[in-house]
Structure 1
Amino acid sequence: MSDDKRSVSPGDGSLEKDDSLEKGDSLEKGEVPHVVAGKEFHFDVHDLDMVQRRLKQRHIQMIAIAGTIGTGLFLGSGAALATAGPLGALIAYMLVGSVAYATLCSIGEMTTWAPISGTFPHFATRWVDPALGFAVGWNYFYTNAITIPTEVSAATVLLTFWDENTNHAAIYIAVICVAICAINVFGVRWFGESEFIFAIIKLSLIIALLLSGLIIDLGGGPDHDRIGFRYWKHPGAVNRAGLVSNINTDRFLAWLSVLVQASFSYQGVELVAIAASETENPRRNVAKAVRRVFWRICIFYVLGILMIGMLVAYDDADLLKSTGTAAQSPFVIAINRAGVKVFPHIINACIFTSAFSSGNSFLFCSSRILYGLALRGQAPRYLTYCTKKGLPLAAIATAGAFTFLAFMSVSSGAATVFNWFVNLTTTGGFFSWFSINLTYSRFRSGMLAQGIDPKSNSYHNRFQPWLSYWGMFWTVTFILVNGYKVFFEWSTTTFLTSYINIPIFLGLYLLYKIPKRPKFWKASEMDFYTGIPTVEETDTPPAPPRNFLERVAEAVF
């Protein structure tokens, strides 16, 4: 990375003001006491940070548009429909979508201010408490690292749509693991190109499904059956959980269950911010990507859930089958019923690429978070090793080792433990979202306290800080209600997998807080400059489009 014009050499461990700035000087539209953090906090690591900006605008925009679309939407949406009914699932996906959007807006503002390695765990270290940064960083790493074999296992199950021989599962897992690791080892450009292709496939699939679903619903299928909102009337718009006798309370409990299921579909929205340190013109491209996410959530998630609620009844027998393949997708169920036979094979192939893409992305995220922790002295220093082309090879190898946990799903005994790991990841994601929103609220307070206008940033959302408050409230709620069913039908295993992440996160926090005793940053003491490159260093003025195709590309990407 280029030399840092905004950074100031750290002091002896204390907080200082930059002597080069007099009290009357102005920076970023305000009277700014230029705070410099001490060396012990490892904020100024631009000489160690060797990653290079090789992701292009089209890569990061397509990752933002389709990066989180995967098995959670294509397959998990069926479980949400069966649990809460079409209206309950729709409201749940809209609510969780608003929390995901709030979280991305929060991390988007911080990332466009500081497009550096380490992303939100480092932001928590820098603007809240180093112990929180340590806890959220390691929490995010292990939840993402565990999710990689989950996606590998899901991709393997999807192949059983064509090959039902379970003896071949280990072979498929080995091939998928090697392929995912190879893409990441070849470099960030390979990762960007692969995700660009996968994003096009996923977008083509979801658009085709929405259009096909609308045609079938209006009676345009081979059977010419006009469905409309038939299934909203019978069996109904909201299902029951079967936990209490009161109908309204039971329906509410069913809706609570779907909140956690829906969140799995949205996890990974922060990939755009994590990739910022390796993206060309990061401030402009990340700001552009975040602004488009709202429409992505409305079109792909909300319309997708609305469509499946119109096509399939929540008590459909095929919807209740858990095959792990396209056969359980509500879109496939509806298309089969309409008499279209070849489409399910195409859908299964596309969903397979989505599972592969998700595993690929989670390996990228976990390795970069691990690399960022190592840069700041919160992980072993050997993990900072980079190749001459800026590839954090040691971090990728460490995170990549987790892919082979997918072999546990082959053994019936190990599969139980593997499923425990899977259940841990959802709650871990909620802790990450909460930390992002909490960090943003402190980040904004620090900027205002030091006379920095938040609107001077490359990206600013006018609804802040209310979005961050909304995100914090609901993520805490999600964590608490994650395993609520266990209090109606007790299961020790379910209770542990639902709530054990709470003591794990607190344990990580205390593991750093007790021996090192870092303090909670006051707004006036936050460092907004050390080790952060200026806009001039990271972004070049956009070149105007020269012809029609370039104008189209500018509008799309």
Structure 2
Amino acid sequence: MLLIVWAVNAAGTRFFGEMEFWFCSIKVITIIGLIITGIIITAGGGPNHEPIGFRYWNETGGFVQYEGIGGAKGRFLGFFSVLIQAAFAFIGTEITAIASAETADPRKNVPRAIKGVWIRLVLFYVCSAFMVGLLVSPTDPSLDLSSTAAKSPFVIAIKNAGIPALPSIINAAILTSAWSSGCADLFVSSRTLYGLAARGHAPKIFLKTRKDGLPWVSVIFCGAFSLLSFMAASKGQAGTVFGYFSNMTAICGMISWTCILWTSLRWHKGLKVHGIDRKALAYTAPLQPYLSYYGMFVCIMVMIFGGFGSFIHTFNTSSFITTYFPIPFFAVLFFAYKFWNKSKMINYADMDFVTGSSMDIPEEPTPQTLWKKIAENI
């Protein structure tokens, strides 16, 4: 799998986009098929003809108690304890904006792609998570948190329903999803490292590119870290360490989101100071700046209180460090950079909204029929 991930990224942005199209097509078909299959199984349409309904929700009241703590407190802690893992699943949704620098006609294509992100999140994350909650009991022994595709809740539900052959097909589809995620992660990390080098925040060696513009040194360097994924195959101490890595990655992702939201708030304020109407922009996020404030508040709360499990019963040093270490580490790097380079926050009046931007409004596309719009969105 890693060889495919490396090869796709080494082939360049155009090939990466083409492969992502096919990977995403498989994921869309798989998720829609799983949701439909889940509805059928829940209604008793499987070979065992046993309706499930909300049976498993009735077992727990919709919330699993955390570490045996009873009552509303245990249910709330059970909900809050999975927010970091949920954030880990959502990391990467910002890839649309990151890839804009290498996107043809970004004023047209990036806004169109961003507008479809929430639809994908609702369909692929919310709906699928809802179906998993209906299909599999949280006490099912098959949910042992191992890393194999056979432990997917959908695969477990299909096996429990007695549907032959389909679990193997789903396993294959899950592998393509893993390929897609790996390709996207390597793409984003290598471009981010290249961007840091271009701004003087990383060694200049990462600025080296091929004739087609591929930052090959950044791709190789970031790709080397993918070898750490073999730790997930271990059931011993290495597997535990990999779990800590994923936890730290989620916290780092929320730090990145917080920075993005903070930048958005300053951008919004800067536009007001310069008297620029947001309607003149190619894309404007809805309900701003209020959603940015809300998102930043949630990220900060999860980062601060996400490691509460370290204090339950006996103090867990490893969990505490992996949850909270990224926060002071980021703060040290941030203020050390500010001190060393004597840089200051740019005043709103000094913000440059002209350099590097194109204010040319693209021509309106010709009206399309309903079926063409549906096909294009799919």
The farther-off stretch of 500-509 and 467-476 is 500-509
Aligned to 1:285: 109
In the TM superposition, residue 314 of structure 1 has moved relative to its aligned partner by 2.0
In the TM superposition, residue 261 of structure 1 has moved relative to its aligned partner by 1.7
In the TM superposition, residue 548 of structure 1 has moved relative to its aligned partner by 9.4
The farther-off stretch of 399-408 and 467-476 is 399-408
Question: How many angstroms apart in 1 are the aligned matches of 2:25 and 2:340?
Answer: 48
Unaligned runs of 5+ in 2: none
1:147-166 superposed Cα distances (whole Å, 9 cap, x missing partner):
xxxxxxxxxxxxxxxxxxxx
Matching of residues 22-421 of structure 1 within 5 Å: 176-242=1-67, 244-245=69-70, 247-319=71-143, 321-408=144-231, 414-421=238-245
Q: How many residues align?
A: 376
- SS of the aligned residue for 2:129 comes to helix
In the TM superposition, residue 242 of structure 1 has moved relative to its aligned partner by 2.5
In the TM superposition, residue 477 of structure 1 has moved relative to its aligned partner by 0.8
Contact 1:325 1:348 in 2 (8 A): no
- SS of the aligned residue for 2:81 comes to helix
Change (3 A) 1:217 1:394: same
Change (3 A) 1:258 1:193: same
Contact 1:222 1:340 in 2 (8 A): yes
- Name which structure has the greater RCO, CA cutoff 8 Å, separation 6+: 1
In the TM superposition, residue 549 of structure 1 has moved relative to its aligned partner by 8.1
Matching of residues 425-464 of structure 1 within 5 Å: 425-464=249-288
Change (3 A) 1:547 1:434: closer
In the TM superposition, residue 428 of structure 1 has moved relative to its aligned partner by 0.3
Contact 1:430 1:479 in 2 (8 A): yes
Question: How many angstroms apart in 2 are the aligned matches of 1:415 and 1:227?
Answer: 34
Question: How many angstroms apart in 2 are the aligned matches of 1:505 and 1:473?
Answer: 18
Change (3 A) 1:312 1:507: same
In the TM superposition, residue 177 of structure 1 has moved relative to its aligned partner by 2.5
In the TM superposition, residue 317 of structure 1 has moved relative to its aligned partner by 2.4
In the TM superposition, residue 307 of structure 1 has moved relative to its aligned partner by 1.4
Change (3 A) 1:231 1:547: closer
In the TM superposition, residue 231 of structure 1 has moved relative to its aligned partner by 2.0
In the TM superposition, residue 280 of structure 1 has moved relative to its aligned partner by 1.0
Question: How many angstroms apart in 2 are the aligned matches of 1:338 and 1:278?
Answer: 46
Question: How many angstroms apart in 1 are the aligned matches of 2:353 and 2:165?
Answer: 56
Change (3 A) 1:414 1:293: closer
TM-score (norm 1): 0.64
In the TM superposition, residue 394 of structure 1 has moved relative to its aligned partner by 2.0
Cα-Cα RMSD: 2.2
Question: How many angstroms apart in 1 are the aligned matches of 2:149 and 2:229?
Answer: 20
In the TM superposition, residue 461 of structure 1 has moved relative to its aligned partner by 2.6
Matching of residues 474-553 of structure 1 within 5 Å: 474-488=298-312, 489-530=314-355, 532-536=356-360, 541=363, 544=366, 553=375
Question: How many angstroms apart in 2 are the aligned matches of 1:540 and 1:458?
Answer: 9
In the TM superposition, residue 404 of structure 1 has moved relative to its aligned partner by 2.6
Question: How many angstroms apart in 2 are the aligned matches of 1:381 and 1:352?
Answer: 36
Q: Percent identity?
A: 42
Change (3 A) 1:337 1:493: same
TM-score (norm 2): 0.93
The farther-off stretch of 407-416 and 355-364 is 407-416
Contact 1:382 1:394 in 2 (8 A): yes
Question: How many angstroms apart in 1 are the aligned matches of 2:307 and 2:42?
Answer: 35
In the TM superposition, residue 544 of structure 1 has moved relative to its aligned partner by 3.9
